[in-house]
Amino acid sequence: MILDGKVPSGPIDSRWDRHKRDMLLVNPANRRKFNVIVVGTGLAGASAAASLGEMGYNVKAFTILDSPRRSHSIAAQGGINAAKNYKNDGDSVYRLFYDTVKGGDYRARESNVHRLAEVSVDIIDQCVAQGVPFAREYGGMLDNRSFGGAQVSRTFYARGQTGQQLLLGAYSALMRQVDAGTVKIFARREMLDLVVANGKARGIVCRNLVNGKMERYVADAVLLCTGGYGNAYYLSTNAGNSNVTAAWRCARRGAYFANPCFVQIHPTCIPVSGSHQSKLTLMSESLRNDGRVWVPKNADDKRPANEIPEEDRDYYLERRYPAFGNLVPRDVASRNAKVVCDEGRGVGATGRAVYLDFTDAIERLGEDAIRDRYGNLFAMYEHIADEDPYKAPMRIYPAVHYTMGGLWVDYHLMSNIPGLFVLGEANFSDHGANRLGASALMQGLADGYFVIPYTLANYLGGAKLDALSTDHDSFAEAQNSVSERINKLLAVNGARTVTEFHRELGQILWDKVGMSRKQDTLHEALDEVRKLRDEYAQNVKVVGRSDDLNRQMEVALRVDDYMEFAEMLVSDALDRDESCGCHFREEHQTDDGECMRNDERYSYVAAWEFKGRNAKPELHKEQLEFKFAEVKQRSYK
C-alpha cells in the first residue's frame, strides 16, 4: 500500500500557515468536553499536555516515572537549534530546513522539516518567556554555539544542561495546568496497551507500577510521546526506563512502524568498561566545538596520549573532512571512529576508543573558559572515567543514542489509527536517516507546543466520536490480553534472568545492526533474534508478584516487546538495500567509504505493519519527494 502523508500543497514556506487557516477548530467552551490522554511527559508530552491544558482540554498525562520532571529529555546536554540568525552568519528558516533534510540524508518528509524550521524560532521565545536560563552574552542577548552538520551558529544552550532546562520549563507549564485543574498527572503508570474502538484510538490500559493494578482510561484522542527504542540495544545513552513498549503495543494494534532501522549512534560517549555496565554516558556533541578527535598514526603506538608528538597523531576527521572538520554529522563521526578502531588504532584498555583532546582549546582560551562552557561535562567524565580531562584527553566511543525511526505519522502527527497521535522521538517524521545535533529538543517542543494544538483540534473538530466508557468490550479485551501476558511471563520460571536475555539481544543488534550492516550478517541477526525470542518465552525467570511494585516484571514485559520489535528492526535494515545516514550497508559505499544512497529505489519511508508474532511484517511505502531541497550526494569534505 502507498501511504499518504496528507501533506498540504503549495509553496513550502507558506504551507503550514495556509494549512492552519484551513484546519477545523474547537470552540473554547467545548474544549473541556474533550478528554485527551498524553502518554509520556518528556519535552513532547509535557509541552503538549501543558498547551492543550491551557487551551481548555481535559488532559490526563501519564508517566512511567515518579514525576514528569524526570523524563529522559532531561539528559539532553548540548542545545536546541533555532533559525533566529542572531549571529548574522547567514542562517534562515530555509537553511535550517535544508541542513536538516541533508543531514538526514534525504529520508525525511520535506514538509514536516520545513514546519519544524519555521516554528523553531517560536520555541526559543516560548522558553525564554517561561524563565529558561539560556546562556547570554555580556550585553544581555542570547548566546549561540555551533553543532555538527551546520556551518552557522544556531544552537541555543544552557551550559551542558539544555534538555534539563527546557524540560523543567515545559514541566513548570504542565504543573501550572495541574494547579488550574485542566491536567491531571498519573505518575508511576506504564501504558501496556492501546484501546481501539470502532477503528479509533480511544484509550489506554496501564499498570499502576506501585500496586500492580490494571487501570483503564478512556479519551477522545491518545497522544503518544514515549520517546525512542534505543534500549533495544541494551547499552545505550537512554535512561533505564526508556523503552519501546507503548509504541510497540500501538504497532500491535495496527499502527505502522516507520524506518525502525534508523538508529543514531552518537560519536562522543564514554567507552564501555566492563560487562557490569548498565548504560553508556554521552558527552555532548558541543564538545566537538573545541575538542579535536585523534588516534595514533600507528597501530602499535601504545604511548600515553600526552607523550605522542603531533607528527605521530592522526586527526582523522580534520584530515578527511577539511570543511566541517570535527563538526561533521554524527553518523559520519561515528563511522570514522569505528574504522580507525577496526584498523587497530583505537586507544584505551579495550582499544575501542578515540581521543577527544582539549589541549589546544585550553591553550587558546584558558582553562576557565573551557570550564564555563563544559564544566559539568568535564566533571561527569571525571566521575566516570576517574581521569581529569583538563589534563589528559577524553577517551570516547560511539554508542546508541537516538532513534530516528518511530511510529508512522502523517503531516498532522496522526498515525494510521485515527485518534492516535505520535509526537517527539516516538514518531519518525523529521530526521530522516540521521538526526543533526540539537534538533531533538527542537522537534519535541515543536510537536508539543506548536503543532499538536492545531492538528488535534482539526481531528476533534471533525471526528464523530461515540460516547464510550471503560466498560466497553474493547477495554476488557485489552486488559485481559495484558494480564494474560503478565501471567504467562511469571509462569515460565526458567533458568535465565531478564537482564541476561536483554544483554544478549543488545549484543546481536550492536554487532550486526549497528554502525555498519551487511546482508549476510543481517540474515544471521534475524535468525538469532528469533531464536532468542523463542528461548525467552521458554526459559526466562521473572520473580515476584504481579500485584506489587516489581521491577523485574516491568523489565520482563519490555524485553518481551524488544524481542518482537527487533525482528522488525532487522527486517527493515535488510529491506533497505542502500546506505543512507546512519544506515551504512557495507555493500553500498563510495570508493572512500562514504554512504551511497539509491534514491531511485529507496526514496521512501518504510512503514511496517505487524502481522503477528511469527509472521513477516508487511511493508507499506510512503514515497518521498524533494521539491524544495536539492537532492545531492551528501558531502562534508
Partner 1 sequence: MNEISVKLRVWRQASADAEGKLQDYKVENVVPDMSFLEMLDVLNEGLARRGEDVIAFDSDCREGICGCCSLTINGVPHGRGTGKTTCQLYMRDFADGETITVEPFRAKAFPVVKDLVVDRSAFDGIMAAGGYVSVNTGAAPDGNQIAIGKDIADKAFDAAACIGCGACVAACKNAAAFLFVGAKVTQLALLPQGHPERERRVIRMVDTMEEAGFGNCTNEAECEAVCPKEISTAHITKLNREYARALLKLS
Of 78-137, binders to partner 1 (CB under 8 A) are 84, 86, 122, 124-137
Given a contact cutoff of 8 angstroms between Cβ atoms, the answer to whether 63 and 178 are in contact is no
| Cβ closest to partner 1, residue 150 vs residue 445 | 445
Part of the chain binding partner 1 (CB under 8 A), chosen from 147-155, 191-199, 381-389, 597-605: 381-389
Known catalytic residues are: 330
Task: List C-alpha distances in Å: 405 to 107, 400, 576.
Answer: 11, 13, 13
One DSSP character per residue, 69-119 reads: GGSGGGG--S-EE----TT-SS--HHHHHHHHHHHTTT-S-HHHHHHHHHH
- In the complex, least distance from residue 229 CB atom to partner 1, rounded to whole angstroms: 16
Of 497-526, binders to partner 1 (CB under 8 A) are 497-499
Part of the chain binding partner 1 (CB under 8 A), chosen from 248-256, 527-535, 540-548, 593-601: 540-548
Residue 546 found at the interface with partner 1 (CB under 8 A) = no
Query: What string marks each residue from 440 to 479 as x (binds partner 1 by CB under 8 A) or -?
Result: ---------xx--x--------------------------
Part of the chain binding partner 1 (CB under 8 A), chosen from 140-148, 190-198, 401-409, 596-604: 140-148
Residue 368 found at the interface with partner 1 (CB under 8 A) = no
The amino acid at residue 586 is E
- Quick one: which of 5, 40, 45, 68 contacts partner 1 (CB under 8 A)? 68
Residue 492 found at the interface with partner 1 (CB under 8 A) = no
Sorted by sequence, the CB contacts under 8 Å of residue 309 that are 6+ apart come out as none
**Residue 229 C-beta-side C-alpha neighbours within 13 Å:** 33
- In the complex, least distance from residue 425 CB atom to partner 1, rounded to whole angstroms: 15
- Quick one: which of 75, 476, 532, 596 contacts partner 1 (CB under 8 A)? 75
Measured distance CA(432)–CA(100) in Å, rounded: 9
User: Widest CA span of the chain, in angstroms?
Assistant: 74
| Cβ closest to partner 1, residue 90 vs residue 140 | 140
Residue 215 found at the interface with partner 1 (CB under 8 A) = no
The amino acid at residue 162 is T
- In the complex, least distance from residue 210 CB atom to partner 1, rounded to whole angstroms: 6
- Quick one: which of 210, 299, 323, 369 contacts partner 1 (CB under 8 A)? 210
Given a contact cutoff of 8 angstroms between Cβ atoms, the answer to whether 595 and 105 are in contact is yes
Bridge partners (DSSP) of residue 355 are 294, 395
Of 551-610, binders to partner 1 (CB under 8 A) are 551-552
Part of the chain binding partner 1 (CB under 8 A), chosen from 144-152, 238-246, 340-348, 408-416: 238-246
Given a contact cutoff of 8 angstroms between Cβ atoms, the answer to whether 263 and 233 are in contact is yes
Look at residues 522, 521, 557 and name the one whose alpha carbon lies nearest to residue 540.
557
Of 148-177, binders to partner 1 (CB under 8 A) are 158-159, 161, 164-165, 168, 171-173, 175-176
| Cβ closest to partner 1, residue 168 vs residue 595 | 168
DSSP code at position 450: I
- In the complex, least distance from residue 173 CB atom to partner 1, rounded to whole angstroms: 6
In a 10 Å sphere around its CB, with 0-12 CB exposed, 13-18 middle and 19+ buried, how is residue 191 labelled? buried
DSSP code at position 141: P
**H-helix or E-strand spanning residue 19:** helix 12-22
Measured distance CA(221)–CA(338) in Å, rounded: 44
- Quick one: which of 239, 265, 413, 563 contacts partner 1 (CB under 8 A)? 239
